[in-house]
Structures are given as structure tokens and as C-alpha cells.
Chains A and B, each alone.
Chain A
């Protein structure tokens, strides 16, 4: 790699804001562990109307269009250190009343299943997700 910074803390210049007439100092230092643990370790998005492609991603090797509509499995390239649902996901689905959820009970350190719903039914469609956690 071209360069390397070794640091336990990143620190900038503190700023000051006035809150309810009082001066409040806003700290701008952060430990490197906060940065490492708070950084996205995987994400993927599809803009295809069927949801059956990957438009862009990081740390994803494949997506499987599963047995029912709106059901997909994603696999990581760099495994998580533990089951992925031990840490946090976020995701969104395009279209009114649509939402994503994790298919519970099927998560491992390398793959997880996504369900895309519209109300109580499953639906294909564009969606995206991101995962924050610790890598193996």
C-alpha cells in the first residue's frame, strides 16, 4: 500500500456553539476504533425493476434470486467475524409501502437473506442495503 497512518485518536480543532444562550464546546476528536467499527463493511444496491441484478456494491461476491418473489441472498467476500445479524443492517426498497427485512434465522458470517415486502406480500424491485460490523 502507498501510505500508512498509525493513530489511536483523530483530533481536529474543537468548535463552539451557542445553545440557549450558553457557549457549548463541540469536541472533534474520535478514537480510531470508533472509525473502524462505525464504517460500512458491505453494501449493495440494485436499480433493476426486478431486483435480480447488482448495480453496485462493496464486499459482495454474489446475489441469489431465491425461490419466492422479493427474496434474495447476498454473500460477502470478506466474512464477518460472527453471524452478520449480531451487528447492524440498514436497507431501503423503492416504491410506496415497500420495505426490506432480514430473513431471520438464516444469517451466517458470510451470507444473509433479504425479504422485500409490499404490505404483507413479497415483491421484486429495486433495493439497497448496508451492513456495519466487525470483519474476520
Chain B
């Protein structure tokens, strides 16, 4: 299905179009990360409807738009967003592969201090894996950590 020309269309309207016209896609990818050395692992799960939008292309804004809004929100006198137009008027992202979509999602939804220095320190603080690689039960969930013996893919 061809995506309509959406630049200038409110992002929420695009999401409603996607909801009506695209089938959700449940990704098997998970992003495991540790916010600090004292925290156990968080596991990010992509939304199936968001993933459908990413694979389709022409719907989602570039990730830098979210960074700009986050900068505005970090200002001490922030009350309301005044640059929401960036979400709606910036040229949308083209179709992504599932792997590219995960990279985009990391930069959007994982704390920046984690993904910007994911491989600094004694061990990685973030890994992308398949859901089958996670523990199969949630026993000791509060003790989940990224393994010290992790072998990184080249």
C-alpha cells in the first residue's frame, strides 16, 4: 500500500491512517540496557503498530525532532511545547528495515546517556537481542543484568 503524502499532516492523523491500513508487526528484537551500575536490566519492547509505521515509511518524523522537543522540555521554565510543528511538518522518514527501526527506536526511547556511551566502561550497558535470548521465566526479575561474559558481534 502506498503511503499518502504526509508531510504537513498532523502526526496523530498519520497514526490513525496507519491503524486503519497497516497490520501490526510484532518484532522479536528486544533492547536490554542498564541505566546505571546499580540498576538491573530494563527491556525495551517495540510497539507493533509503531514498527508497522517504521517499515512502511513516510509516517514517522526523523528522530532528531524528538531530541529537539526533549531539549525544549529540559528548560527550567518549560510549560508547554511550542515547536510541536516539527513533528508534523518535517519530512517523514523513508521505509526502514526492522534493524534500522530498532536503531531509531533506541535513539528515541532509550535514555541518551545509555545509548551514547553503550560500550564504554568494563562491559556493554546495552545489547540488542532476540526475545528468545531473555530468561524464559521472570523469576528473580529484579536481579537481571547484562552478562559480564557477553561476546559482542563484530
Query: Do A65 and B50 form a contact, CB below 8 Å, given A1-B13, A59-B15, A136-B69?
Result: no
How many residues of B are counted as interface, with CB atoms below 8 angstroms from the partner's CB atoms? 42
Task: Decide: A77 and B44 in contact? CB cutoff 8 A.
Answer: no
Set of chain B residues within 8 Å of A127, measured between Cβ atoms: none
Instruction: With both chains docked as a complex, state the minimum distance between the C-beta of B145 and any C-beta of chain A, in angstroms.
Output: 11
Task: Decide: A75 and B15 in contact? CB cutoff 8 A.
Answer: no
- Contact mask for chain B residues 79-120; partner A; CB cutoff 8 A; 1 contact, 0 none: 111011001000000000000000001001100000000000
A53–B73 alpha-carbon span in the complex (Å): 28
Task: Decide: A82 and B79 in contact? CB cutoff 8 A.
Answer: yes
Set of chain A residues within 8 Å of B73, measured between Cβ atoms: 108-109
Set of chain B residues within 8 Å of A9, measured between Cβ atoms: none
Answer whether residue B40 sits at the interface, using C-beta atoms and an 8 A cutoff. Answer: yes
Task: Decide: A56 and B84 in contact? CB cutoff 8 A.
Answer: no
Instruction: With both chains docked as a complex, state the minimum distance between the C-beta of B22 and any C-beta of chain A, in angstroms.
Output: 12
Answer whether residue B142 sits at the interface, using C-beta atoms and an 8 A cutoff. Answer: yes
Query: Do A57 and B69 form a contact, CB below 8 Å, given A67-B142, A79-B81, A81-B84?
Result: no
Closest to B69 in A: A79
Answer whether residue B123 sits at the interface, using C-beta atoms and an 8 A cutoff. Answer: no
Answer whether residue B126 sits at the interface, using C-beta atoms and an 8 A cutoff. Answer: no
- Contact mask for chain B residues 52-67; partner A; CB cutoff 8 A; 1 contact, 0 none: 0100000010000010
Answer whether residue A41 sits at the interface, using C-beta atoms and an 8 A cutoff. Answer: yes
A41–B49 alpha-carbon span in the complex (Å): 15
A135–B11 alpha-carbon span in the complex (Å): 10
Contact of A1 among B4, B24, B80, B108 (CB under 8 A): B4
